[in-house]
Amino acid sequence: MPFKIIFMGTPEFAVPSLKVLSESKHEIISVYTQPPQKKQRGQKITKSPIHLIAERLNINVRTPTNLDTIEEYDFFQKKKPNLVVVVAYGNLIPEKLLKIPKLLFINLHASLLPKWRGAAPVERAVLNQDKETGVSVMKIVKELDAGPYMQQVKVPINQDISAGELKSNLSKIGSKIILESIDQILKGEARFIDQISSNSTYAKKINKKEAKIAWEEQAGRIISKINAFNPKPGAWFEFKNLRYKIFKAQEINLQGPVGEILDNNLTIGTGKNSIKILEIQKEGKNKLNVKNFLIGTNLSKGTKLN
């Protein structure tokens, strides 16, 4: 008998999973997502990607600021779901809900647990120059991302891939194993494996300050920062009180003064080797490839950026 499912998710990463479940034999009785947010410019109200997709699919949407209320508990009791699927929802699930009898909460997490528990597992994996990452389907428990997992899929990390591109790949892979996992649960074939907590690492939320480029670092390290923070918040440097974000670059075997532009192609000296910028955005302007950016710019050979 198909499951009655409550889905919880917010960003674009969760969209493939919601779409796959909506096309399955299971019934999505409600979707939870973060409340609409005001954009800084113009104060326009913006709904989350999951909110928009759920409305298109004619699925009931709930956007509470707090899950730990009598109202939400009563909603769960009334709807009597068989399963709750969580994909990058953005809130911890209250213990009161986790303790509802015969109700299983599962989560799709973008890492090979117990590595990179927390809010930014993809960015941290890229920044750490990990060789691989993946997705895990786990049972939700009170402690953050600490529950036993039932499925994992490994994915190699290409040294040129951005966190945004990697997230997109993982979200598609994850949507497939979420459905496979639900079918295993339905058949009574699910087997959960306890995490080894002593092997865990924590993927803390990204701070814009840590995205600042330090030219004295090795080129490879700077490239990993550029990739990890693409598209958000964008690795950046300042020149003449303006911020420049770098979205794509490559390491060049060229030595020169640290923080100095070494040629007419926007190659910059670092602590070891140098980086050639390929995509860049000046504060208040659009993102450009380096060829178009160099037209009319004051960043030329010999300019010191530090």
Q: List the CATH number of the domain containing 28.
A: 3.40.50.170
Residue 24: pLDDT over 90: yes
Cβ-contact 109, 121 below 8 angstroms: yes
Flag whether 29 is in a domain: yes
Those residues whose C-beta lies under 8 Å from the C-beta of residue 226, and which sit 6 or more positions away, are 213, 235, 246, 247, 248, 249, 275
Q: Where are the alpha helices (DSSP H) in the chain?
A: 15-22, 49-56, 70-79, 95-98, 121-127, 163-186, 219-228, 290-293
Structural domain containing residue 271: 208-293
Flag whether 298 is in a domain: no
Cβ-contact 63, 32 below 8 angstroms: yes
The one-letter amino acid code at 285 reads K
| pLDDT value, residue 278 | 98
Cβ-contact 50, 9 below 8 angstroms: yes
Share of the chain above pLDDT 70, in %: 99
Instruction: Show which of 203, 237, 269 is a domain's final residue.
Output: 203
Residues 32 and 68 reside in one and the same domain? yes
Share of the chain above pLDDT 90, in %: 95
Residue 42: pLDDT over 70: no
Flag whether 222 is in a domain: yes
| pLDDT value, residue 223 | 98
Residues 90 and 198 reside in one and the same domain? yes
Q: How far apart are CA 44 and CA 52, in angstroms?
A: 15
DSSP 209: G
Residues 248 and 189 reside in one and the same domain? no
| pLDDT value, residue 296 | 80
Flag whether 260 is in a domain: yes
Flag whether 227 is in a domain: yes
DSSP 93: P
Nearest to residue 10, comparing CAs of 40, 32, 39, 43?
32
| pLDDT value, residue 220 | 96
Residues 10 and 135 reside in one and the same domain? yes
Flag whether 304 is in a domain: no
The confidence band for 40, taking pLDDT boundaries of 50, 70 and 90, is low
Residues 20 and 64 reside in one and the same domain? yes
Interval 270-296 mean pLDDT: 96
| pLDDT value, residue 38 | 79
Strand duo 202-203 + 117-118: pairing: parallel
CA dihedral over 68, 69, 73, 78, signed as positive or negative: negative
Interval 172-181 mean pLDDT: 98
| pLDDT value, residue 143 | 96
Flag whether 47 is in a domain: yes
The one-letter amino acid code at 268 reads I
Q: How far apart are CA 90 and CA 73, in angstroms?
A: 18
| pLDDT value, residue 108 | 98
Model pTM score = 0.94
Tokens representing 199 are 């092997």
The confidence band for 3, taking pLDDT boundaries of 50, 70 and 90, is very high
Residues 256 and 282 reside in one and the same domain? yes
Nearest to residue 149, comparing CAs of 177, 187, 125?
177
| pLDDT value, residue 170 | 98
Residue 39: pLDDT over 90: no
Q: Assign residue 224 the CATH number of its domain.
A: 3.10.25.10
Tokens representing 163 are 């966190």
Summarised one tens digit per residue, pLDDT across range 212-254 is 999 999 999 999 999 999 999 999 999 999 999 999 999 999 9
Q: E-strand spans in the chain?
A: 4-9, 27-32, 37-38, 45-46, 61-62, 83-87, 104-109, 117-118, 132-139, 149-156, 202-203, 235-239, 242-252, 267-269, 274-282, 287-289
Tokens representing 271 are 């602590």
